[in-house]
Amino acid sequence: MLPFAAAVYFLIVTPGPGVLSAAGVGAAYGMRAGLRYVLGLFIGNNLVILAVITGLAGLVLANPVIRTVLSVLSLAYLLYLAARIAFAGSNLAFAPATSQPGVRAGILLQPINPKAYAVNTALFAGFSILPDALLTEALWKLLIVNAIWVPIHVIWVWFGGALKALDLAPRKQRVVNFAMAGSMLLVVALALAAQIRSCSCGNTPRHPACNIGKTWRGLRSKAPIRRTARCFP
């Protein structure tokens, strides 16, 4: 179980939309708002885990149209959250001073977050702990994932809340909010760049996201093998 726990830790602790948005909400709105948001993320992540365990996620995400729609929705929602964090405390229509991202905002992010499906699929399908007791294995994995997931996200919220508790001058607080929002956007941009790069691997056969296929010309001839590169779906 130690290799599985280590994989959970390193996959979750790395900055992603969930932890960065949690820190951003904490920095912009305070510790209480951040914890409410993390509660929503927790519920949403477990809904994703349930979809992965039952196989529903595999059936749904096998459709490239659905995958594309989820990616677009996730990007749009992360941009919206980043804007709310950046302009927290203002009286803009989409980020009024009295409005705070809460449980519902956290729940909504995870089911449309492709990274949540990728991480949980890798964890629950890629490690065999009790091959003869799959239900027990799934329960143990669920327990380990949540035991690591919760403190990591709480620490990120605490970090953001600590910045908010400094009671900075309005100008400095805006700098902090914009920095948090910018970090979220940077992660989103890197994820999009990686996805675009992997899907354009036809011109880069050595790219790890590519599969080198072999096409034989003629069954009995000794014609040279032609290599073709294609992206994994």
Res. 214 pLDDT band, cuts 50 70 90: very low
Domain count within the chain = 2
CB 101 within 8 A of CB 84: yes
Q: Does 231 have pLDDT greater than 50?
A: no
- The rounded percent of the chain whose pLDDT value lies above 90 is 16
Q: Which residues of 83-105 are buried (b: 16+ CB within 10 A; e: fewer)?
A: ebbbbbeeeeeebeeeebbbbeb
Q: What is the pLDDT of residue 112?
A: 82
pLDDT tens digits for 136-190?
888 999 999 999 999 999 998 998 888 887 777 777 777 877 887 777 777 667 6
User: For residue 58, what pLDDT is reported?
Assistant: 80
Distance, in Å, from the CA atom of 158 to the CA atom of 182, rounded to the nearest integer, reads 19
**Do 125 and 212 fall into the same domain?**
no
Name the token pair of 17: 């939309």
The yes-or-no verdict on residue 80 having pLDDT over 60 is: yes
**Domain shared by 79 and 147, yes or no:** yes
Gap between the Cα atoms of 7 and 124, Å rounded: 11
pLDDT at 154: 93
Let me know whether 208 and 161 are in one domain.
Answer: no
Is 187 found in the same domain as 104? Answer: yes
Same domain, 159 and 67: yes
Same domain, 166 and 213: no
Q: Are residues 228 and 193 in the same domain?
A: no
Task: List the domain range (segments joined by +) for residue 191.
Answer: 2-199
Structure confidence at residue 197 as a pLDDT band (50, 70, 90): low
- Domain co-membership, 223 together with 192: no
C-alpha–C-alpha distance, residues 31 and 184, integer Å: 19
Per-residue pLDDT band for 194 (boundaries 50, 70, 90) equals: low
Q: Does residue 55 sit in helix, strand or coil? A: coil
> Which region, left, alpha or beta, applies to residue 167 given φ > 0 means left and ψ of -120 to 50 means alpha?
left
Same domain, 102 and 45: yes
Residue bearing tokens 């948001």: 37
- Would you say residue 225 has pLDDT above 50? no
Q: Are residues 96 and 162 in the same domain?
A: yes
Structure tokens given for 90? 């203002």
pLDDT of residue 190: 67
Is pLDDT of 15 > 60? yes
Per-residue model confidence as pLDDT tens digits over 89-139: 544 444 444 567 889 988 988 888 777 887 888 888 877 778 788 888 889
Predicted model pTM: 0.70
Residues 43 and 107 in one domain: yes
In angstroms, how far apart are the furthest CA atoms of the chain? 79
Residues 102 and 77 in one domain: yes
